[in-house]
Structure formats: C-alpha cells, structure tokens
Amino acid sequence: MKKQRRYRLRKEVEKAKIELSANSYCELDLSELVDEDEFIISIDRSEFEECNKKEFDRCMECIDEIMQKKGIKTTQIDEVMLVGGSSQIPKIKELLTKKFSSSSHINDNIDCNLVVSQGAARYAFEHSKGMIRSITEVTAHPIKMAGVDGNHTIVEDGTEIPHEHEIYVEVTGWDVQTELFEGDKSLGRYVISNIPKEDRYVMFVVQVEEDGTITVGGRLSNGNKCECKAQIEKKSNDEEEIQIEKEKIEKFFAQK
C-alpha cells in the first residue's frame, strides 16, 4: 500500500475511533482507497472493543506495572485525570472506573487534548536549555456572551490570562440575564437582580484565571459590586414525576 493511501486509511480509522466514542455505530467510507465507486465498512462499538481487547488490557497492565514500581496502591489515588484523545473511549473509562472505583474520582471534565498540548509546551520549556525564556498562558477557546443585546465574543481565543473583561448592559427590567459560552459549550446562565431603579446600566465582569477557571460577577453603574447568581433549572426526579402522574390518574378515575 502506498504511503499516501496508508496515511488516509489511518485518518479514516482515527475518525471512526472518535465517532465510536460518542456513538454506538459508524461507517468508514474507503471508496477512494480501493478505487471503487462505493466501498463502505460499518462497525459498531462492540466490534471495536473486541478488536482492541488486547490493547485495552495492556493499558491496564501498564498502570499496574507503574503503581507496583512506585509502591502505590489504588486506595492511595484520590483522582484519575483522563488525558489524551484515547482516554475518551468508553471502554477505557469503564476499565478505569472499575480499577479505581473504591477510592478515586475519575475526572473527565477537563479538555483532554488541551492538557496534552500544555504538557508538551512545559516539557519543551524545561528542556530548552534557556532558549525559551517564558511560557504565556492563553485562552484555548473564545468566550461568548448571549442574550444581552445580541451575541458577543467578549474574550478571543489566544488571549493572555489572567484576564478580566467588563461588558455594560442596559437595564430594561428588574433584572438582567445572560448566558456564557466557552467555544460552543454553555457555562450556564447568570442573572443580576435587585437593581436600584436609578441604575440604567450594570456590568457583567468575566474573569479568566491563569488555571483557566472562569468566574462571573456583577457591578452597578457606580462601580459597586452587586450579586450575580448562576441560574440552576430545578428538575423533578423520576419518582416525583411518577407520583404526580399517579395522582392525576387516580383523580381521573375517581370522577367516573
């Protein structure tokens, strides 16, 4: 197989691996690789896991070997951070959860690809022998604000952090609401309430810390801080919903 075709095949396989991390089924279109009008291979997640069983087992063996060399037990691990794209494979998460379930928290809320880049940058810095003088932390994704006088990108990606941004908002009622996004991911809705009648403008203050933590605050037009709360939608649990529906049914038949 020519190098170019081998490369394209690897790209298709990588694409399928990523897709199977989110879906139970995917298709590989290899038509261009075999010079046929249509050559599509379908694969489901169970087949993928069976094909890679040895690799998954080897991953767990590597963890056991490292912990044995360092004399560490699973009960001494407080948190397991999933780093790198392959850490998002459901089977990997399942095996790690099983291995560390008794004592550790599996943290998959971080940007698994970003931390790899950060680690590579720090490694390069430490081994640069003075060629690199400093590392500047920057935002990985743009931060956007929606629902307040339209949509705005308030912090561009690549902005040096720590960083603070203020955006003035006109007051049209008793409170002012907005929704914040990091890239396409919603960070939640925020509201400034109990605004004095004389204030026609308030400020949302978005702070990005050096570790990437994002906080949102509020200020009145005179510069004084005011309360800015994150809105949490209260959802009834399944038992409550079942009980409500049960009462409706009983009431209906009682009227017959």
- pTM for this entry: 0.53
Average of pLDDT values for 174-180?
Answer: 83
Residue 249, pLDDT above cutoff 70? no
Average of pLDDT values for 97-103?
Answer: 80
Residue 251, pLDDT above cutoff 70? no
> What's the confidence (pLDDT) of residue 148?
53
> What's the confidence (pLDDT) of residue 242?
55
Q: What is the mean pLDDT of the chain?
A: 81
Q: What is the 3-state secondary structure (H, E, C) of the chain?
A: CCHHHHHHHHHHHHHHHHHHHHCCEEEEECHHHHCCCCCEEEEEHHHHHHHCHHHHHHHHHHHHHHHHHHCCCHHHCCEEECCCHHHHCHHHHHHHHHHHCCCCEEECCCCHHHHHHHHHHHHHHHCCCCCCCCCCCECCCCEEEECCCCCEEEECCCCECCEEEEEEEECCCCCEEEEEEECCEEEEEEEECCCCCCCCEEEEEEEECCCCCEEEEEEECCCCEECEEEECCCCCCHHHHHHHHHHHHHHHHHCC
> What's the confidence (pLDDT) of residue 62?
94
> What count of other Cβ atoms lies within 10 Å of the Cβ of residue 178?
21
Residue type for 94, please? E
Residue 56, pLDDT above cutoff 90? yes
Do the strands 228-231 and 185-192 form a parallel or antiparallel pair, or are they unpaired? Answer: antiparallel
> What's the confidence (pLDDT) of residue 58?
94
Higher pLDDT, 147 or 177: 177
Average of pLDDT values for 45-56?
Answer: 93
> What's the confidence (pLDDT) of residue 71?
93
Average of pLDDT values for 111-139?
Answer: 78
Could you give the dihedral angle defined by the CA atoms of residues 194, 198, 204 and 205, in that order, rounded to the nearest 10 degrees? -110
Residue with tokens 């810095």: 125
Average of pLDDT values for 5-21?
Answer: 86
> What's the confidence (pLDDT) of residue 256?
46
Least confident of 132-136, 197-201, 207-211: 132-136
**Domains of the chain from N-terminus onward:** 1-71 (3.90.640), 73-135 (no CATH), 138-231 (2.60.34.10)
